[in-house]
Structure 1
Amino acid sequence: MIMNIKHLIIYTALVTLTSSVHAQTGADKPTKPYNILMIAVDDLNDWVGAFGGNPQAKTPNMDRLAGRSIVFRNASCAGPVCGPSRSALLSGFRPSTTGAYGNDTNMLDSKLVQTHATMPEYFSKNGYRTISCGKIFHKHETSSGFDAGHWAYDVWHDELNRGGEKEETVYSRNKAIIAGKPIENPKHKVGGGSEFSWGVTEKGKEFTQDYRTAKWFEQQLKEQHDKPFFMLAGLSKPHLSWFVPQEYYDMHPLESIKVPEFRMDDLDDIGGGKKHRTFEPHEDFLWVREYGLHERAVQAYLAACSYADECIGVMLDALKNSPYADNTVVVLWGDHGWHLGEKLRFRKATLWKEATQMPLIVHLPGMIDRKDCFRNVNLLDLYPTLIEVCGLPSKELEGKSFKPLLEDPEQPWIPTVTTAGKGNHSVMSEKWHFITYGGEVEELYDLEKDPMEWTNLASIKSSDVESIKAYLRTFLPADEVDSLPESKAKKPKKGLDDAADTTGASAKKTPDPTIKPKRNLAGLR
């Protein structure tokens, strides 16, 4: 039975009261400062064994981390593409507040972010040594140089992919290639974004970017640290393109691959009906269906996830064998989800569940068992959560610390918001998913009865439906700024592969002169 608005208001009051109590009582500061190992996995959806998104997934290392952690089964991102999701997570402010709505907007152009410390900077201000390699911030080509977010860390390192590609294994819509051979009169070739391509690397994992990143952190965990550390490891797979060594494809034999469920009429009930619908099938989806490649695309994504999982295993093993094992918080997150045929599309950048939700795992020192949390949290909440977990001074942020859920995963919580451009939002509770596009087109799904989001209830003339939508609208941003300007491109230098820290103190090469200098932490809030 649909909860009426009166009951929903009472529920909201209960959550507010519970949150207030936790805010007043606070948490004891750790007797010894915690270290943090945070692992970001680009474009990782819930195709992880521990999350059950696809039974074909083979991710033993993420699964073993989940086995002694809090596993957030309903975590969402603040924005369903890399840039806004990571900007919100690292700044602590929503896309609708900073204007960082897309990949081509740099949050440093926001006056708000210019005066506030990002997550790594705040930990540096409070006695931590921040150490990073791989993609954490979204990278931008700017008029003043290539911005990889390296200004935010005490130590920054970069690795390049040297794995190559086996030409005969290449599949690419953008290049119109199947099994290394060009397609005559190709269909569905046009399309933006990263190349929709996959295949096998020419060299083994030891030459690939993410594995080299993992091995670099393995070495960092062997070293003696005189300060608590905050290590931020960024893995690029399973982001496109899906070129990984053959061994990971072998883990997922093509003949065993099953594709996700989809319905060709799925989009007909969004907007103005079949003749005037708001969305059309995506070019990637049409391409794989046209050329019979859906199974191969799914195989490639699964292989990329298994590859990323092995890289994660390298770091988890290194931590386990280090003197820091019992005093380190481990956080693993994907920056958003990914479609592989659901809603007749591939990629991200939608407000449907497949793109807005992703894995989030948090291990605190002393945890030995798995607990699942089904409350709706957001990656935006990580910044204040880690501040509270580590006992640092509180900071003005838009995210809401979910530390209370680490103590009691079943206590009441509130819905969460994902934004895809000004005016376009998803509001998700455990049962309901409401989507609005500028207030003109709406969607509403009952996630308990319709987990694939096939039946849009938004247009049903019912007081119950109107009450649900009215309640979920209360979580929409009250104010929304315009988008930041597009970053002005300047090609990055090629010599960033082995630059070490941002100070140059231990750099193997002279850092790129276009690297932005470290910000004055004392002047940041």
Structure 2
Amino acid sequence: MKRINILYILFFICLCIPEEHIAQTPLPHIIFITLDDQNDYTEGFDGHPQVETPNIKRLEELGTTFYNAYCVAPQCGPSRMSLITGKDCFYTSVYNNTGYKCKKFSDNFTAAEGNEEIFVLPQYLKGSAGYFTYHFNKVMHCFENLVDYDSVTTDPCARELSWNKIFYYEDSTLLNLVGHENLEGPKQFSWAVVDDSYENVMEDFVMIDTAISFLQSYANDPSVACNKPLFLGLGFQRPHTPYYTAEKYYNDFYQHDLNQNPLRKPYNFPANAFPFNGIAMPPQPATLFGDYDQLPAGGVAQALADGKIYYNFNQYIEDLYPAPVVDENISETQRLEILNETMRANLVMAYLATIKYVDAQIGRLLDSLEQYPDIYNNTIIIVLGDHGFSMGEKKHWRKGAMWETDVRAPLIYVDLRNPKQQVTENFVSFLDLFPTLCDVTGISYPTFSDGSKYFDGESLLPLIANPDTVFERPVLTTYIEKGLDEQGGCFPQYSVRSGRFHYIKYQTNNAYGVLNCDITKSIIEEELYEIGLNRETDPYEWNNLAANDKYGAVINYLQQFIPDSNLYLQKTITVHIKNNALDCFASRSDTIYASAEIFDKDGNYLAESPPEYTYRWTNDINDLSWEGDAITIPLSLFSEEELINNNRFIIYLQVYDIEDRLIGFDMKYFYAGEENLPTVFYQISADGTTACINNYNITGTFTDSWWDFGEGVNINDEIPGPYNYGETGNYTITNYVQYGNENCIETFTALISVDGSVSDAAKPIHLFPNPANQTVYAALPANTGNGLMRVFAMTGQEIFSAYIPETCCEKFAPIDLTHFAKGSYVVSFMADTGLMTGIFIKD
């Protein structure tokens, strides 16, 4: 490994800087906090509605929240390697934990790998800006090996490499023994509720104790840090497993006793009930794991998801002895389903408890820091999760996949010299942290020995100065599965996340069913999700658009940001399609006047189109195309039949540079045909203080729908679950439906009176055959009125719904079970005459 020796340059630079100038501008202290396996279950990031992180929120109120921050790789080793060196995996050649050379950090960078020139963040700050660098636990991967630390030199002020001082402490044998004695969950997850008295021997607690003690010593005598500014790297080991967490951090919904009879469900039931009556579980599609099942069997995506964990939960439940009863009045299938979901809910709560515990330690640190105003008021604090973490989405638990849950993580930047709460929704990478800290400390960027650019990221300071800066650079995440004998272990897998879309490109080892590496037989798998600019379209990545030809132009653009492509790791121009105001639904007599709004790479608006740019416009209806930065599209160019068949159509804009390279892209939906105006019908009922939406039916074309039950809380489910009012009274329920060209909104309201009275118990519904395989029939008595038939899994997830019109005779309503997984299901039928319920088994 070749490190550029810059100390002699700095010596001469320092001679040229007046001493009084240095004294007037002290360098800020930097506290660099990494959280292990921390996903967006953090207040301010909207990952989980019941997470409690008041101290992280406290930091957010003082600084900049990067709402869309992404890791370089979805595993600890490669992610931390890239953020600490400022280089992408393509350069470091570290794509997974297995590829990380732990024994000696410098062994990762060799001439044979073509990456022998490297800079390391703490070493660069130490050597270039004169920082005292102190490593606490897991900032760099393999921290137990005292990574990049000069353990030979006894004088901390004279140490070479990255760190002047290092602290390493792992959970005590006592805590591990207690945790093991109270262990819950399958082997891939270890969690335990431990007595609060053990908190002070937990490694993150001890780490913060040590940091607090050091800050006190430094405040009294800066010579303990060689009279230098501080760079403290605080590496929290949690919320990484095992989740051995003090009981006080657990949610009250936690189910401590599986032998309780009847068993209290710890999870929200139904899944979309509000307010919550249990812990909210990760959202699932209508058919549980239906998004996973649609992935190529034997392909990379399913392999990375590692669906075996789902079956390990099942096995864990089946192995319990004595077997928990749950409820004497339910079937064996129902019993197992409830127990499985209970354990998965307990896991979610163990993860949330560990996050709350970490947050409490951050609070202790902040409280201590505030005791030393001279330090506090001159400190920058950075908090980030090293990557995301999944909790059962797409049958995937843990990390190492390419979906949003694994690649997105929190990032917060706080400059206590100028505290200011703000949020930026621009997309950033952890590669951006190294150049940002260079700018903050006023040191020049490192360069390769030939003078070329070193950093793969961009400074975040422009976004901190102006969070609304226009910034176009889709973020790349890369991963290779850890073993060559595992699917996805031969070639890089890529995720490219733009402001609106998420593109994933997988490459199999070989033909399906063969695992040895052969690129000539390898198969490309693709996923494309339109998540939406505000996560309003497909936030959970359930609708894969990759095979839809209408989105080929999107894929083509995002592929430019993959290694060896035109825009790899590059900022590019920002392109917006602008057009004249149109009616909510346009007609053939209308004309679209479209133009290209362009911002340069630095976010500056270009009032005039650069002459070297070529603008190419196309559509998804026919082969018509246009050129120029402003065009006219009379809708009469499309036939009436074409507009009827494409009541939502797309206009694409691709911008090319003088060398005919694609450098900018946008697409926009347009809507035609006023006959597509959305209409809504629903009925409401009240039982006690609970309101239910019944017989919901929506027609027409719409883009979004949400509800307000009259208490000012927006609920984004298309059909919300039971809503529990805090008190009796009269309320207005409103369904908002957004649609059309100008984001038009229709509202559909109903009045409800909640008086607290409880209705009679639901009537039973006869279901036959039961168990059933292909079809089950619900026997509906005559004169039941219009009604809504709904089917729920035992987890509370709605699987099926259908509007059943009024009939004067007894009716047998069929329910197609073709796509139902085996198990028990609850059927509800809400009609004018009341509620009917029943249970059937799919065998």
The TM-score with structure 2 as length reference comes to: 0.48
Whether 2:67 is the aligned partner of 1:73: answer yes
Tell me what 1:511 maps to. none
The CA deviation string for residues 177-229 of structure 1, in whole angstroms up to 9 with x for no partner, is xxxxxxxxxxxxxxxxxx41110336521111000001111112112331111
Tell me what 1:201 maps to. 194
Whether 2:546 is the aligned partner of 1:458: answer yes
Report the CA distance between 1:251 and its aligned residue: 5.9
Structure 1 contact 288–297 (Cα < 8 Å) conserved: no
Structure 1 contact 270–278 (Cα < 8 Å) conserved: no
SS in 1 for 2:455: coil
Whether 2:485 is the aligned partner of 1:397: answer no
Structure 1 contact 269–277 (Cα < 8 Å) conserved: no
Report the CA distance between 1:120 and its aligned residue: 0.5
Q: 1:319 aligns with which of 359, 369, 378?
A: 369
Whether 2:459 is the aligned partner of 1:417: answer no
Aligned equivalents of 2:235, 2:163: Cα separation in 1: 13
- Structure 1 78/214 Cα, relative in aligned 2: closer, same or farther at 3 Å? same
Whether 2:505 is the aligned partner of 1:436: answer yes
Report the CA distance between 1:340 and its aligned residue: 0.5
Structure 1 contact 337–355 (Cα < 8 Å) conserved: yes
- Structure 1 220/453 Cα, relative in aligned 2: closer, same or farther at 3 Å? same
Structure 2 contact 289–393 (Cα < 8 Å) conserved: no
Matches within 5 A, 1:81-120: 81-104=75-98, 105-106=100-101, 108=106, 109-111=108-110, 114-120=116-122
Structure 2 contact 479–493 (Cα < 8 Å) conserved: yes
SS in 2 for 1:374: strand
SS in 1 for 2:292: coil
Aligned equivalents of 2:214, 2:143: Cα separation in 1: 27
Tell me what 1:62 maps to. 56
Aligned-residue RMSD, C-alpha: 2.4
Q: Give the number of the structure whose residues are more often helix, by fraction.
A: 1
Higher relative contact order (CA 8 A, sep 6+): 1
Q: 2:395 aligns with which of 335, 344, 359?
A: 344
Tell me what 1:498 maps to. none
- Structure 1 325/456 Cα, relative in aligned 2: closer, same or farther at 3 Å? same
Tell me what 1:446 maps to. 530
Whether 2:417 is the aligned partner of 1:366: answer yes
Unaligned runs of 5+ in 2: 1-20, 151-161, 256-265, 267-277, 318-339, 447-453, 481-490, 508-522, 566-843
Matches within 5 A, 1:143-162: 146=145, 148-151=147-150, 152-162=162-172
Report the CA distance between 1:437 and its aligned residue: 1.0
SS in 1 for 2:67: strand
Aligned equivalents of 1:265, 1:273: Cα separation in 2: 16
Whether 2:283 is the aligned partner of 1:261: answer yes
Paired amino acid for 2:48: N
Whether 2:240 is the aligned partner of 1:239: answer yes
The CA deviation string for residues 439-458 of structure 1, in whole angstroms up to 9 with x for no partner, is 70111000121010001101
The CA deviation string for residues 69-125 of structure 1, in whole angstroms up to 9 with x for no partner, is 100111000000000000000111111111111102226322266532200000110
Q: 1:46 aligns with which of 36, 40, 47?
A: 40
SS in 2 for 1:33: coil
Report the CA distance between 1:279 and its aligned residue: 6.5
Tell me what 1:296 maps to. 346
Compare CA radii of gyration and give the structure with the larger one.
2
Aligned equivalents of 2:348, 2:96: Cα separation in 1: 26
Report the CA distance between 1:397 and its aligned residue: 1.5
Which has the larger displacement, 422-431 or 365-374?
365-374
Paired amino acid for 1:228: P
- Structure 1 87/457 Cα, relative in aligned 2: closer, same or farther at 3 Å? same
Structure 2 contact 305–394 (Cα < 8 Å) conserved: no
Structure 1 contact 270–442 (Cα < 8 Å) conserved: no
Identity across matched positions, percent: 29
Structure 2 contact 179–244 (Cα < 8 Å) conserved: no
Report the CA distance between 1:167 and its aligned residue: 4.6
- Structure 1 223/404 Cα, relative in aligned 2: closer, same or farther at 3 Å? same
Paired amino acid for 1:135: K
Report the CA distance between 1:259 and its aligned residue: 1.3
Paired amino acid for 2:404: K
- Structure 1 273/95 Cα, relative in aligned 2: closer, same or farther at 3 Å? closer
Report the CA distance between 1:31 and its aligned residue: 2.4
How many corresponding residue pairs? 425
SS in 2 for 1:115: coil
The TM-score with structure 1 as length reference comes to: 0.76
Report the CA distance between 1:147 and its aligned residue: 5.1
Aligned equivalents of 2:297, 2:348: Cα separation in 1: 32
Paired amino acid for 2:434: Y
SS in 1 for 2:205: helix
SS in 2 for 1:362: strand
Q: Give the number of the structure whose residues are more often strand, by fraction.
A: 2
Report the CA distance between 1:160 and its aligned residue: 2.1
Whether 2:358 is the aligned partner of 1:308: answer yes
Aligned equivalents of 1:125, 1:94: Cα separation in 2: 23
Whether 2:311 is the aligned partner of 1:286: answer yes
Paired amino acid for 2:544: N
